[in-house]
Chains A and B, each alone.
Chain A
Amino acid sequence: MAVRTPLYLNSGNLKEMSTTMVDNIIDQIIYQYSLNPSVTLSVVSSGGNLGTITDTRLQAGTHATSASSTPPESGTGEPTVVTVNYDKISSSSATVSPTSDTGKTWPVYRTSTNDIQAMTLQDVKDTFLHPAIDLLTSGSTGTQQAGTYHISTSSSVTGSTEVSGSNTPIFLDTGANTSAYSSGSIPETLDQPQTLTSYYLQRVNGNDNAYTTPMFITGANDLQVYTTTNFESLVQEWIRYTAASSTDGYAISYNINGTGTNRGSGIVDQRLNGSGNYQTRFVNANDYRAQEFPNGTLTTINTYFLKINKS
């Protein structure tokens, strides 16, 4: 591993960048990634390849009737679990063909013999790209994670953009709406859910930070400051390629509850834990009814995390 210190033009002189300057370049690389991420998540209606998240809730049990007397609790159906699967997140990776190193492609640095040498691709990885991936795949969701995704319980998150564009949740944690059940309405509709929490897929927005442009060796073997257009295009290609296709442990991927770092809110499946709220109804002397409604306390059945991973 060789982390280099790039040179920049300082009032007509060559000077080594400070750590802050290098960090600013890394931030700019992250910003460039955010402009066109190579590993993307999208919200689909179903069939998303990131896996299935299950929401469960209780619904009322089947009712019982009698023409002579009120059915006993044992005669009614127990509340059952309704399961809804969500597979609304799909991941894809772009195929990127970045610019090859000509030997003079990358920024220059001062060697131990006080000469000037162009960075190798490995130098660039060690100095810029891999630190950028490290930041991108961290658990935070600030601008240094721009272009990556996280889960929120709100459709609007400052500094992020809701991915579907239409505030389409990728998961609804639902539960039985106990207040919707009424004994006077037995037989009540079995499944009368309510949404407890909606979960949205968010992408972190980038920040076009200021940075100092390094220098490179021209075709005439002179030293020249990159144009911002050229430098940003070059690093965008390579951060996109690294994120999508790195073979040395820095490719970005997402999963649910797999390996990696949690991103955003955990997706919680809650469900009432009661054994049933037995209710009866006297309609007339020939019509007696009973039913168990969902009851209990909301209990976390499962928690799912969107994870970001580098591998």
Chain B
Amino acid sequence: MAVKNIAVTDTLETFRTTFNDLAANDFGDIANLSGGITATNLVDAMNETISIATSTAGWTIEDSSSTQQIIGGGNILRVFGTSNEIEAVVSATDTLTIGLPSAVSITTSVTAPTVSTGNMSLTNGSITDSSGTISFGDENLTSTGTITGATITGTGATHTLGTVEISGNTLRSTDSTRLNVNDTFRANAFDTQNGLLTIDENSSIPRLTSSATGKALTVDAVPLFNSSIEFDGSTAGTNKTTVSVTDPTANNTITIPDETGTVITTGSIDAVTESMMANDSISSVEMKTLSTLVIYNSSGVAQKTIHGAGV
């Protein structure tokens, strides 16, 4: 049944058929009206009907929005719950029990609930509050699962994650003397226990700084460098001395001897002293403009050949 409407421009035929349909199907055949109704028009019949229903065994039901429904005598009031939200149980002799199912599904919110017994579980895994803050009071939160949060802030003095304890600004392992970081570990600076060694960045350059006496730094390891080591010297940021290696094609070993001295380079001038030469270490081929002096015995047999460098 729908609203029937006759437009101005409709034809008379349209008006006729619409009217007929309205009368036959929407209003119905008056002849078919119950014989208990005496009214001869539809409105009167209706009013008469209501009067009859409420004046006998019927009653009216109204919800929170003031919507009313007449329950006439002999009529059945059917009460249904909503799955996972509320359930209605009819029991003898005249009891209707409205309750919540064991599993309640609340679509929007529960206001100020108090769960006094049992465990509370969340199917979708979300507890939110419109203030943006959820307080658990002074309760201890225990989870065998994973606690995830965009921001987790602890206000206590000591916090323990597994065997990792955070106490103030001290991080330690509770079951070991070592903390493992399985990813890149980045900090503004790294200090050793007494702050004698600092690892930081200076002018966009990583820096190791020793504050021990004499700036001593022990490297009890075999460091592997790329191709160069640079020395900034006591005047930082000016000139540098770079020690570079030619790309090795084999495992080479250059041994620094157990002695005090100055490294000699191809740029050294008048630097190699006699004491630096090992005995029997220079052959004649190393000499410039080789000059040879042979010492013969009186028989003319060479006893010694002396090689000297020319100019």
Contacts and interface: CB of A to CB of B under 8 A. Distances in A.
Interface string A111-135: 1011111111101000000000000
B146 interface: no
A223 interface: yes
B294 interface: yes
Contact of B297 (A111, A113, A118, A222): A118
A217 B293 contact: no
State the main secondary structure of chain B at its contact with A.
Answer: strand
B45 to A, nearest CB: 153
B303 interface: yes
Contacts of B297: 102-104, 117-118, 217
Interface string A205-221: 00000000000010001
Interface size class of A (residues with CB under 8 A): 20 to 34
A115 B294 contact: yes
A221 B300 contact: no
A103 B301 contact: yes
B298 A121 contact: yes
A116 B295 contact: yes
Contact of A111 (B296, B299, B303, B304): B296
Interface in B297-311: 297-301, 303-304
B298 A115 contact: no
Interface residues of B, number: 11
A119 B296 CA distance: 9
B296 to A, nearest CB: 4
B293 A118 contact: no
A231 interface: no
A290 interface: no
Contacts of A248: none
A106 interface: yes
A308 to B, nearest CB: 31
State the main secondary structure of chain A at its contact with B.
Answer: loop
B294 A116 contact: yes
Residue with the greatest number of chain A CB neighbours at <10 A, chosen from B293, B295, B298, B299: B298
A33 B291 CA distance: 41
A217 B294 contact: no
Contacts of B299: 103, 120
B161 to A, nearest CB: 81
B31 to A, nearest CB: 158
B304 A222 contact: yes
A115 B297 CA distance: 11
Residue with the greatest number of chain A CB neighbours at <10 A, chosen from B299, B300, B303, B304: B303
Contacts of A104: 297-298, 303
A108 interface: yes
Interface in B255-302: 293-301
A15 to B, nearest CB: 14
Nearest to A223: B295
B298 A103 contact: yes
B39 to A, nearest CB: 157
A221 B298 contact: no
A221 B295 contact: yes
A117 B293 contact: no
Contacts of B304: 221-222
Nearest to B300: A117
Given A118-B296, A121-B298, 10 more contacts: A102-B297, A103-B301, A104-B297, A104-B298, A115-B296, A116-B294, A116-B296, A117-B300, A120-B299, A217-B295
19 contacts: A102-B297, A103-B301, A104-B298, A108-B295, A115-B293, A115-B296, A116-B293, A116-B294, A116-B296, A117-B295, A117-B296, A117-B297, A117-B300, A118-B297, A118-B298, A120-B298, A217-B295, A217-B297, A223-B295
Interface of B: 293-301, 303-304
3 smallest CB-CB distances across A and B, nearest first, come from A103-B297, A117-B296, A221-B304
